[in-house]
Structure 1
Amino acid sequence: MKPEDVAQYLQENPQFFESYADMLSEIKIPQPYDGRAISISERQISTLREKNKLLQEKLHELINIGENNDTIGEKMHRLAVSLLEFNSVEELLHGLNYNLCEDFSIPHVVMRLWYLNDIKSNQKRPEFSTVSKTVRISVESMRKPYCGPQVSDDIKPWFGQDAKYLQSFSIIPLRRKRTIGLLVMGSPDAERFYPDMGTLYLERLGELVSSALARLERIDLEQIIDEPPKI
């Protein structure tokens, strides 16, 4: 008789051990760790304990993930409120950098925008610097934020002297009806932005910033139009 036949018989006849209950304590099987022989019932208890331990560990992991998501959600809410309070693109650029640094511990943040043509001529900030066609095409083709250890040679210099210390990056497209720019975050921690990480909150960050920029574009354009001509 093959082992498979024995296993099949026991599966098809679960009442077997009711008729031969003593066998549960008489049959000895190797203990998986120290090689000591134990009864089937002891092995069952040991297996249940192992499963319970794994379930407890998984439960703690899920609780930690939930608590972490709650914390991030609260920070995203504060950011959204702040974005609603900004009255100009200039305020947004200052405030966003401050918020990401203080609330999310991301001190290395750069942004490039290529849609505010009328405002661009009135701005000297690096956010309005010319962006290469390669970068624009790449960002426009992105379906979700990028996370990983590399950014293009066109982007890395935007971080200035800090670029050589950065080990991981996140690139977030900024879009409304079209791509209007990109937000890039860098970290000296190689595990801060890694390829397999979830991007839900990064996508939400991009949506919040894009919406705020679209709203402020209209405000700033109105201010420019309403300015009296210089004589």
Structure 2
Amino acid sequence: MRKTKGEGGAAGAGASEAAITAGPAPGEGAGATAAAAVAAYLQGHPDYFASNPQILAELHIPHTAAGAAVSLIERQVRVLRAQLETERGRLAQLIARAREYESFSARLHALVLALIAAPDLTRVSAALQEGLMHEFSAQAVTLKVFPVDPAVGDPDPLVAAFRDFLERKHALCGPLDEAKNAALFGDLHDPAGEQVHCAALIPIRANGRCGVLAIGAADPDRFKPDMRTDLLDRLGEIVSCKLQMLPPEVPSAVTPPPPAPASEDEPKPTPTRRKRTKKTVPE
């Protein structure tokens, strides 16, 4: 019995649906099973891409053309997709950089609060060491303040070693020679036991005093001569302003000691009594 054209089409569609529903033939593998499941799901949900356009943008659907020719629309889609990936990468970098600066701002704010609360130079130095080593992963921190004018000759070898540096307006990063390393850090080591090989030197100037805030690292590539010093310069300005608020370090005035209490053996002075005069009443 011959089948009509309509009956053949219906039979073909039914066979196709049955093949999708039944899954792949034996031996085709899990990939074919997954493809058949996706096809069956899309057939049952024809509006899926309308409600999920972000998935549609990721699909690669080449236009069928004779030979090796590529459709202009397909070429435009490829270019736009590449630009989209580039912009996504830039956006991810901006978000990561914004989070990094937000964290840095919070840590710097905590360090500034600790410096504001420090009443003297010793507490300022301790706040810098604790804040920079714990919050900013510094490996060695030292603050050297010289109560001298760098333009005037001074026999102190520490001042002589940094006299040229104290005239700078910006921080200096890079390796240290042995003399400056010993003058700044001495026998300081990082937690791993390695010596300091490079440092960031920040000039400090306040109320006729000058000095250097040194942040050392055992990694020779941590502080390079060509790195930006904007944040280091701002930290130096903060420390300089704090030192200007501190009173000059002078010996405190000597106050006379309180009088010692009199012992029981010493004679106590007898109080003088005032003589009373009798008042005469007029007759």
Please give the secondary structure, in 2, of the residue aligned with 1:182. Answer: strand
Equivalent residue runs for 1:216-231 within 5 Å:
216-218=246-248, 220-221=249-250, 224-228=251-255
Q: 1:116 to 1:58 in 2, by over 3 A?
A: same
Going from structure 1 to structure 2, the CA distance change for 1:73 and 1:38 (only over 3 Å counts) comes to same
Secondary structure of 2:143 counterpart: strand
What is the alpha-carbon distance in structure 1 between the residues aligned to residue 73 and residue 208 of structure 2?
65
Question: Are residue 95 (structure 1) and residue 122 (structure 2) matched?
Answer: no
Percent identical: 26
SS in 2 for 1:131: helix
- The alpha-carbon distance between structure 1 residues 197 and 101, as it changes in their structure 2 partners (threshold 3 A), is same
- Quote the residue 2:85 is aligned against: 53
Aligned residues: 184
Which residue of the other structure, out of 160, 165, 170, is the alignment partner of 1:138?
165
Which residue identity does 1:74 align to in structure 2?
Answer: A
Q: Within 5 Å, give how 1:8-27 maps onto structure 2.
A: none
Structure 1 stretches lacking a partner, 5+ long: 1-23, 29-35, 118-128
Query: Corresponding residue for 1:159?
Result: 185
Deviations 1:127-173 (A, max 9, x none): xx752424221231x2311223x123332123234386334421111
2: distance between equivalents of 1:152 and 1:138? 14
Return the TM-score normalized by structure 2: 0.56
Instruction: Name the Cα RMSD after superposition.
Output: 3.2
C-alpha separation in 2, matches of 1:27 and 1:192: 59
For 1:153 and 1:27, the matched residues in 2 are separated by 75
Q: Partner residue of 2:215?
A: 185
> Which amino acid counterpart does residue 57 of structure 1 have in structure 2?
G
Contact 1:116-1:217 at 8 Å conserved across structures: no
Residue deviations 1:51-76, cap 9 Å, x none? 21111111111111111111111111
Determine which structure has greater relative contact order: mean sequence separation of CA pairs < 8 Å that are 6+ residues apart, divided by chain length: 1
Structure 2 residues not aligned, in runs of 5+: 1-62, 150-155, 258-283
Higher helix fraction (1 or 2): 1
Larger radius of gyration: 2
1:169 is the counterpart of 2:195: no
Query: Which amino acid in the other structure matches residue 62 of structure 1?
Result: L
